[in-house]
Chain A
């Protein structure tokens, strides 16, 4: 190899840069921890996890529907809202417990989402995709404003009554409530169930086939309409559960409550690589952490948290245009 004498200093410079980068990252983390103590840091991470798991439940609905019909279902966040309200009525009016309430929310959301799919999306299946998207926006508006009418849920904020007492454990200064435990447990349970259905059952195989190639799937005898309906139903069930968990964590509900968490969950799904279930979960956890860490550590953080979340989205896109786990789409020429 020629010019070897130049190799050493260049190599040295590169190593110095490595060291500086590594030191910077370590210094940043230590700084964050030392700023308010390690307990505060762990607490923030845990809170981010809690938020992230709720986002994951919503994000899965977006990502699955997108995977099957390539539609950004803007109405999904309102299905989430309806889930929260259904459980609210079950708990305060009928005095139901947590498990029946969350099951009711899931059933209500499934029925609602299937109706939406039948009425608004199915007739447009062969129309330009943008038409269905506009319809989704329309459905979203309708659900928000219709439920805000006086005879429906009303337009005011309502305080959500939790179906159980809040218990807080103090573990070395880190506070863990049973809310966090329930959120994480329910989400992981539903996630495992979903993974089982998708990877181990015949229906799951049909869903995967449909998302890859609808025409081929139909030729293989798969009932496409049934699969699409099922996808909407599963997404709605997850959103319903998410609505209940979100209301338990942040006990204030109103008919526009779905917009912001819905938007963030959706962005999380895209961030992870839309159409990809693992991506949706990773993206959601990332989104939750970014939000909570921004609030905890950045000056004016509570005002700037959306800014950071969406800046991260844009940066990820610039670096990897199809999201974290998304596969690059290559057009055949």
Chain B
């Protein structure tokens, strides 16, 4: 397997990952190695199995075969919330906010795994409750501030405009304080200005929070613009990997996106 030109040790190592839905091979022998603080891209036509990879990493579906190692410990077979506790957070392709909660509460829910008081303290408001609740709220607002959502904090999440919902989802994922962040089409539905800002933002949070990022994206501008290393999938299989320039010139990738006949004609 080719690896990206980097000296950092790999943080997330996926090997031979396979998922069968009945007879359908949704993902077949997928592998990737992402170094610490890497910013990697995963692209491919619709139905190539990209989101299924995310679902297997985060424990939504169990993999049929293969291994997923985060800093040397296996994530396979663990329930989703444990995987999140070990440091993997994600966003969703079709935004999955807690729609009827406020913006602030959305982020505070994600901070629940760092909660510093017990159930009895929460019901009686004694002990550590007030201090810890304050810390939780403050941290949540810090995350909102990063995404410029601090003025929206008391609004109901479903009332936010689309772009802000996308940003809130990333803020929420960050609140779990992950080491690896999986972004599923973060720029979908954004206008060019918003997309530019998003690209800047992704760079910024990667450096600020020491994140390792894997992102799925259809807007080539985003992928080619920020990803250090790109993996291309088609029909569940990895068909190419390399830097943005390699991928742009790869025949199989062009074929996968545009179809065979067109390529021949070119």
Direct contact of A and B (CB under 8 A): yes
Dominant SS at the B interface?
loop
Q: Which residue of A lies closest to B60 (CB)?
A: A333
Number of A-B contacts (CB under 8 A): 5
A 306-333 binary contact with B (CB < 8 Å = 1; else 0): 0000000000000000000000000001
**B92 lies within 8 A of chain A by Cβ:** yes
Nearest CB of chain A from residue B203's CB, rounded to whole Å = 27
Nearest CB of chain B from residue A316's CB, rounded to whole Å = 24
- Which B residues are in CB contact (< 8 Å) with A333? 51, 55, 60-61, 92
Nearest CB of chain A from residue B79's CB, rounded to whole Å = 15
Complex Cα distance, B60 from A333, in Å, reads 8
Complex Cα distance, B26 from A333, in Å, reads 14
B 51-76 binary contact with A (CB < 8 Å = 1; else 0): 10001000011000000000000000
Q: Which residue of A lies closest to B51 (CB)?
A: A333
Dominant SS at the A interface?
loop
B 137-159 binary contact with A (CB < 8 Å = 1; else 0): 00000000000000000000000
Complex Cα distance, B20 from A161, in Å, reads 61
Give chain B interface residues in 22-62, CB to chain A under 8 Å: 51, 55, 60-61
Q: Which residue of A lies closest to B61 (CB)?
A: A333
Complex Cα distance, B112 from A145, in Å, reads 50
Interface size in chain A (residues, C-beta < 8 A): 1
Complex Cα distance, B92 from A253, in Å, reads 56
Nearest CB of chain B from residue A252's CB, rounded to whole Å = 50
Nearest CB of chain B from residue A12's CB, rounded to whole Å = 31
Complex Cα distance, B28 from A175, in Å, reads 62
Complex Cα distance, B184 from A333, in Å, reads 11
- Which A residues are in CB contact (< 8 Å) with B60? 333
Q: Which residue of B lies closest to A332 (CB)?
A: B94
- Which A residues are in CB contact (< 8 Å) with B51? 333
- Which A residues are in CB contact (< 8 Å) with B55? 333
Give chain A interface residues in 141-157, CB to chain B under 8 Å: none
Q: Which residue of B lies closest to A331 (CB)?
A: B60
Give chain B interface residues in 104-141, CB to chain A under 8 Å: none
Complex Cα distance, B60 from A44, in Å, reads 47
Complex Cα distance, B51 from A17, in Å, reads 44
Nearest CB of chain B from residue A331's CB, rounded to whole Å = 9
Complex Cα distance, B60 from A270, in Å, reads 27
- Which A residues are in CB contact (< 8 Å) with B92? 333
Give chain A interface residues in 224-247, CB to chain B under 8 Å: none
Q: Which residue of A lies closest to B21 (CB)?
A: A330
Nearest CB of chain B from residue A333's CB, rounded to whole Å = 5
Give chain B interface residues in 77-94, CB to chain A under 8 Å: 92
Complex Cα distance, B51 from A333, in Å, reads 8
B 1-13 binary contact with A (CB < 8 Å = 1; else 0): 0000000000000
Give chain A interface residues in 65-95, CB to chain B under 8 Å: none
Give chain B interface residues in 147-206, CB to chain A under 8 Å: none
Complex Cα distance, B32 from A271, in Å, reads 45
Complex Cα distance, B55 from A333, in Å, reads 8
Q: Which residue of A lies closest to B55 (CB)?
A: A333
Nearest CB of chain A from residue B215's CB, rounded to whole Å = 17
Nearest CB of chain B from residue A328's CB, rounded to whole Å = 12
Nearest CB of chain A from residue B169's CB, rounded to whole Å = 14
Complex Cα distance, B90 from A333, in Å, reads 12
A 214-227 binary contact with B (CB < 8 Å = 1; else 0): 00000000000000
Give chain A interface residues in 165-182, CB to chain B under 8 Å: none
Q: Which residue of A lies closest to B93 (CB)?
A: A333
- Which A residues are in CB contact (< 8 Å) with B61? 333
Nearest CB of chain A from residue B250's CB, rounded to whole Å = 29
Complex Cα distance, B253 from A193, in Å, reads 55
Complex Cα distance, B216 from A333, in Å, reads 14
Complex Cα distance, B146 from A310, in Å, reads 54
Complex Cα distance, B51 from A251, in Å, reads 60
Nearest CB of chain A from residue B96's CB, rounded to whole Å = 8
Give chain A interface residues in 276-333, CB to chain B under 8 Å: 333
Complex Cα distance, B185 from A333, in Å, reads 13
Complex Cα distance, B93 from A333, in Å, reads 8
B 236-250 binary contact with A (CB < 8 Å = 1; else 0): 000000000000000
Complex Cα distance, B61 from A333, in Å, reads 10
Complex Cα distance, B49 from A333, in Å, reads 12
Nearest CB of chain A from residue B107's CB, rounded to whole Å = 21
Nearest CB of chain A from residue B178's CB, rounded to whole Å = 18
A 45-59 binary contact with B (CB < 8 Å = 1; else 0): 000000000000000
Nearest CB of chain B from residue A130's CB, rounded to whole Å = 15
Nearest CB of chain B from residue A76's CB, rounded to whole Å = 32
Complex Cα distance, B52 from A333, in Å, reads 9
Q: Which residue of A lies closest to B54 (CB)?
A: A333
Complex Cα distance, B9 from A136, in Å, reads 62
Nearest CB of chain B from residue A239's CB, rounded to whole Å = 37
Complex Cα distance, B50 from A333, in Å, reads 12
Nearest CB of chain A from residue B89's CB, rounded to whole Å = 15
Nearest CB of chain A from residue B53's CB, rounded to whole Å = 12
Nearest CB of chain B from residue A36's CB, rounded to whole Å = 48
Nearest CB of chain B from residue A311's CB, rounded to whole Å = 29
Complex Cα distance, B126 from A289, in Å, reads 56
Q: Which residue of A lies closest to B92 (CB)?
A: A333
Q: List 5 A-B contacts (CB under 8 A).
A: A333-B51, A333-B55, A333-B60, A333-B61, A333-B92
Q: Which residues of A contact B (CB under 8 A)?
A: 333
Closest 4 CB pairs of A and B: A333-B60, A333-B55, A333-B92, A333-B51
